[in-house]
Amino acid sequence: MSLSSALETLANYRAHNTRASQDIVDKGKPLLNNAASKLGDDAWSFLEQLALAAIEIGDLDVADECLRQLGEKFPESPRVDILSGIRIEATERPEIALKFYDDLLEADSSNAAAYKRRISVLKRIGKIEQAVTELSEYLDTFYSDVEAWVELAELHSSCNQYTFALQALSHALLLAPQNPFYVLEFAETAYTANDIPLAIKMFMLAIDIADRHDSEESIPTGASVRAWYGVKLCCRSLSEKPSSPSASDTPFPKNLNLLDELATERVLTAYSAAGKEGAAGRELVLSWMGPSDRSGSRVHFVR
Amino acid sequence: MLGRSLLLFAILALLHAAFSTYEHFSHLKALGKPEGSLPRDIMFEAIIALAVGILGATLNAPPLKETTWSSEMKTRSIDEMDARPGFASYVNRGRNIS
């Protein structure tokens, strides 16, 4: 693995927030000693990435070395303080880590990352209610933090409080209106909460946002395939139980069987066109799509 | 390829026209009649250099990039949207294993 391709992979991981920790440590460990000379300006974000990956796989010596280099370069930085906090989380008891973050917040109460780390520790040790309270307080101050709204939605969903989850996700949708993945999450949460008309409306919105500029013959990829699956599931559910009311008073879709046909065709196009990888799942998808009076098989979304 | 060669031809033609103008006017100055006008063929050479240069520059332009949000979102994956790095937990049972 040459140096430049390793650096490129690491930069790619940084850009896409990928958690490939073992790979990062394998590629990054040889660069640890002369990082500043080999990487120039990127050296510091590389060291942060390597420190986090090393903590995750348990290689605490590498993590300590990264922290030492970062501490030397940026002595009073809040970002390095957060990294030290994460290092403390890895070995000490959670109360000690919480106290550390409390001290950071007392010194500087605008340190958003410290609030987030506190909430992460509380979630990890199981204090979900306190985590939700603190997260809601955090979001009162830092309204525009999209990832925090998504985290709040996930916390509510884990306690089966789907209405609150949908409320949190709607704030995320306001803040990032061009992102089809959050619309998809909204739709799937609505489906889980049995609000099928709302779910089908949001699935179609996700498809609209993701494929807005595509021609009619293009093959759906990524979020669109998942959204078309969602439309198909909603159509199936609506045709089996047409009278269940929508909690959000969303009107029922018209032309349900046309929508069903379209969703089937779109998903099968996605699986037929991709060459060999497409063909592998195709038989399964085809048999699942089957005639609509086939009972039994239910697919559950796993996020 | 074609764009670059046309652009090069246009630049050379323009430089040639400029040099010819200089030579023409220094010739007139040597003859003692410095008020002469620019000869027509040099003017045509310059205008043709302009036209060919525009053609070459447009053919040489790099391919257009996508500008829509939907094309940008197609390059992202659901894992990176769900990542939430500020809240990530780096503690797992691995510390008990190794």
Average pLDDT for runs of 10 along chain A of length 303:
87 91 92 83 91 92 93 92 94 94 93 95 95 96 95 96 96 95 96 94 94 82 91 91 83 89 88 66 77 44 42
Q: Provide the residue ranges of all domains of chain A, joining segments of one domain with +.
A: 1-77, 92-169, 178-303
pLDDT of residue B7: 94
Contact A211 B70 (CB under 8 A): yes
Query: Hey, of B66, B81, B89, B93, which one would you mutate to test binding to chain A, going by the most A CBs within 10 A of its CB?
Result: B81
Using an 8 Å CB-CB cutoff, list chain B residues near A172: none
Query: Hey, of B90, B95, B97, which one would you mutate to test binding to chain A, going by the most A CBs within 10 A of its CB?
Result: B90
pLDDT of residue A39: 83
Task: Report the CATH fold assignment for A92-169.
Answer: 1.25.40
Count contacts between A and B (CB, < 8 Å).
89
- Closest CB to B90 among A56, A148, A213: A56
pLDDT of residue A298: 44
Taking CA atoms, A174 is separated from A61, A145, A248, A290, A293, in Å, by 43, 11, 18, 38, 39
| Tokens coding A301 | 């979304």
pLDDT of residue A81: 94
Using an 8 Å CB-CB cutoff, list chain A residues near B88: 19, 52, 120
pLDDT of residue A293: 39
pTM, to two decimals: 0.83
Query: Hey, of B72, B75, B87, B96, which one would you mutate to test binding to chain A, going by the most A CBs within 10 A of its CB?
Result: B87
- What's the CA gap between B27 and B6, in Å, rounded? 31
SS3 readout for A10-40:
HHHHHHHCCCCHHHHHHHHHHHCCCHHHHHH
Q: Provide the residue ranges of all domains of chain B, joining segments of one domain with +.
A: 2-82
**B80 and A20 Cβ atoms separated by less than 8 Å:** no
Contact A52 B87 (CB under 8 A): no
| Tokens coding B21 | 């103008």
pLDDT above 90: residue B96 = no
